Amino acid sequence: MTRVLIASIYHEVNHFSPGVTTIEDFQRLGWALGADSLVRGKGRDQAAGAASVAREEGVDLVAILFAQAGSGPPVTDSAYAAIREIVLGAIREHRESLDGIYLSLHGAMATESLTDPEGALLAEVREIVGPDLPVAASFDLHCHFTALMARSADILVGFETCPHVDFFTTGQRAMRLLVRSIRGEPAPVVRYRKIRMTASSEHHDTRRGPMHEVMVRRKELERRPGILDISVFATQPWFDAPEVGWSTVVIAAPDALAPDAAANAQQCADELGEMLWARRERFRVRKTPVDQVLAAVREARAAGEERPIVASEGADSTSAGSTGDGVDTLRALVEAGATIDALVPVADPVAAAACFAAGVDATVDMEVGGRLSPGFHRPLRVTGRVATLCDGRYRSKYPPFPTDAGPTAVLAIGAIRLVITSRPAYLLDLELFKRAGLDPVAAELVVVKSAGGYREFYEPIAAQVFDIDTTGPADSDLTRLPFRRLDHPLWPFEADLQQPW
């Protein structure tokens, strides 16, 4: 039987988020060894997609690891070393019986000392297995794609969607191409184009706008003879390292109608790269001031609108590695009299502990926010009633993994319900609010912390959605952030740049 080793490792760095990501963070947020690693995503992740193809094709999977730590500050070197050794040790152990390797990666991890640990891991895998064993890797759409990745793997595929809803099918794509290579089809070539641009993720939405247009053309190009797969990578915007820039990656193999696979692939990569570059100004993000959002809520109330306004503090996006302790919108609500029925999240372990110490129905007077990223946020003093307390554990729908936000309290401040988590929690779906006993659909205003990805779950329930102009480690105006290691020139830092690569 054909045997393929599979491992999944997910972390997305935000270089402006304080602190480090430890091995304990991986173990708390998502960790499984052996066969358990295939079911950690409850049948919805990349590993599950790969396993479905393996069953169809009679492939035996050697499952090694699931390690997931979400988005946040750089991974400690010791944590990366432990994960690396689990994967490489298993490959050395099983090397003689393996026909292929599939690593499901995020693609935008960084450690304390490495800016491309995933590329380095693939290079070490290649060194162990030699030049002939097929190696596949899949990535998030926000992969920081590098030349080392391109040199080290035979198959490199990325998400097709943003918001990301194709975890399962991405795993299927990678495994199908891997099985194809294992079974002797013409060897594929990888060609890519690196583009001198980056942009905040609010306009990466593949369902509309400039990214949608590029993805439509991508699907058309995939129908060309010899083209096996095409990916577009819009680098994690808050990644501070050399080689940052968007990428188009094409996998091709010789075809009777297109025998020159390399030239065919490069032409497709360049065409998509030119499309992205031509649309660069449309990827620039312009946000709405908080006072205009509150005015929209009042107008909706006056009009009898029953659906909520949804407003996102994307600069404090927890799914982009921010700390979730910004309180800009909360401050505006309190200063306006706290009369808007609003659900507002904040990460603050000290405030959460104070609520638990006081107990349900107690009145507390305390500062909230501004503790985790004091360089970006300042605290706000509030007085409210502790409405509910919970353990903060629930199963997220996006991404499809268990979540532990730590002890979580709901503090009623007038009409506002402030959801205080002990740890930063993703706000891509409605599950945190539901776990806290709240109904987002029934509120007048729902505040989330997401740089665009929230739209998949929140747009269907919203009367209007707004991206609010606030500050934080995931600021949409990248030129306001203290980047130090980028390769220049790079748009938008050099706004008049004319050469795309």
Residue 68 has pLDDT above 90, yes or no: yes
Edge-to-edge strand ranges of the sheet holding 59-72: 31-33, 59-72, 2-13, 100-105, 135-139, 155-158
Q: Average pLDDT in the 467-479 region?
A: 95
pLDDT tens track for 253-270 = 999 889 999 999 999 999
Looking at residue 332, what is its pLDDT? 97
d(CA 476, CA 200): 5
Q: Is the pLDDT of residue 1 over 90?
A: no
For 276-317, the pLDDT digits (tens) are 999 999 999 999 999 999 999 999 999 999 999 999 999 999
User: Which token pair is 126?
Assistant: 């290649």
How would residue 39 be classed by pLDDT, with cut points 50, 70 and 90? Answer: very high
Tell me the mean pLDDT in the region 417-442: 97
**Domains in the chain, CATH or no CATH each:** 2-283 (3.40.50.2300), 290-476 (no CATH)
Cα–Cα distances (Å) from 161 to 11, 127, 216, in that order, read 18, 32, 11
> What is the C-alpha to C-alpha distance for residues 70 and 477, in angstroms, rounded to an integer?
23
Q: Which residues pair with 193 in a beta bridge?
A: 248
Mean pLDDT score of the chain: 97
Question: What pLDDT does 42 receive?
Answer: 84
Burial per residue of 379-402, b for 16 or more beta-carbon CB atoms within 10 angstroms, e otherwise: bbebebbbbbbeebebebbbbbbe
Quick one: pLDDT at residue 85? 98
**Tens-place pLDDT, residues 335-353:** 999 999 999 999 999 999 9
Alpha-carbon span 351 to 367, nearest angstrom: 7
Amino acid at 364: V
Question: What whole-number percentage of the chain has pLDDT above 70?
Answer: 100
pLDDT score for 467: 97
Q: What average pLDDT does range 238-266 have in this prediction?
A: 96
**Higher pLDDT pick, 471 / 421:** 421
Backbone phi and psi for residue 133, each to the nearest 5 degrees, phi listed first: -75, 125
Predicted confidence (pLDDT) at residue 366 exceeds the cutoff of 90: yes
Token code pair at residue 341: 């029925």
pLDDT of residue 402: 85
Question: What is the DSSP annotation of 185-242?
Answer: PPPPEEEEEEESB---GGG--TTSHHHHHHHHHHHHHHTSTTEEEEEEE---TT--ST
